[in-house]
Amino acid sequence: MQTTLKTPVTFEGTGLHTGASVRLVVKPAAGHTGIVFQRTDLGNAQIAALWHNVEVTPLNTRLQNGQGVTVSTIEHLMAALSGCGIHNALIEIDGPEVPILDGSAATFVRAFVAAGVARLATPLRAIEILKDVSVTHGPARAALSPATSLQIAFEIDFDDAAIGHQQKTLNMANGSFVRELCDSRTFCRQADVDAMRANGLALGGTLDNAVVVDGDRVLTPGGLRHADEAVRHKMLDALGDLATAGAPILGRYTGERAGHAMTNRLLTALFAQPDAWRWVNCDAAILARLPGVGVKAADLAQVA
């Protein structure tokens, strides 16, 4: 069965790139609504959080509707919704960018778990991957391959010794997103921060909402939440971007130096190949393998 929140949840904060204050309310929605953003500051213009509405950007995932209305930096919120097993929500937002909060998805997850998830009578379908699909761009690669549940494998390699080479693989079933990934923060190099600000970006970025590194040093007070926090955050981003498929995915995602644009290109390639996937009705056995099923407050016990 499909799900939604039991009660609305409100968040307030600033956008990472715009630095603008924003208020966001995630509301329950009926079955088959999916995840829909509504810009309350622009006449309630709506944008469905679907892959074909994604405007490819290197720094975040941005949605745009046919009238040019946008909502950016949706990936952490989308990861939290997917990781908590929430299929339907109306998200009211009074600005162009989702608040960055602490740079992870933990604040969203805590609020969703506290609000509770309601089951709807509407049947749920999943996207089953039938054959390998991949996209590449230089050294970056993203791929989907057949699997019985959503699995994410990611590998990164940075010159900065504070990050270096990291890799991790997780089965996203049974609340593993909440326990393993949701508190991992976005990260960047100090040189990148300087360059972005020179170009009018990252105006809301601080050491309180990102892990900033410089060579072998972690500049963010308190250091890392996990020794491999960087690759965990890339997996968090991937889950959020995969959620724009519009339904849970049964397949293995592999990312090698991949980012938001690569994952969107991968979904575009997948849906361009009708023989590479199919709809499946989620019976009890499939439901038990989906992200978010069985998530409980105790899963948050060790989340930062």
- DSSP letter string, 126-137: EEEE-S-EEEEE
Q: At CB < 8 A and 24+ separation, what contacts does 62-70 make? A: 63/37, 69/39, 69/42, 69/45, 70/96
Q: Active site includes 260?
A: yes
Enter the DSSP assignment of 161: T
- Angstrom CA distances, 222 to 51, 56, 91, 172, stand at 36, 33, 32, 28
Find all residues with CB under 8 Å of 117, minimum gap 6, and list them. 3, 4, 5, 6, 84, 85, 86, 292, 295
What stretch of H or E contains 27? strand 21-27
For residue 203, give the 3-state DSSP assignment.
coil
Residue type, 153: A
> Which two structure tokens, joined as six digits, stand for 263?
């994952």
Catalytic residue among 17, 76, 87, 260: 260
List, by residue number, the catalytic residues: 260
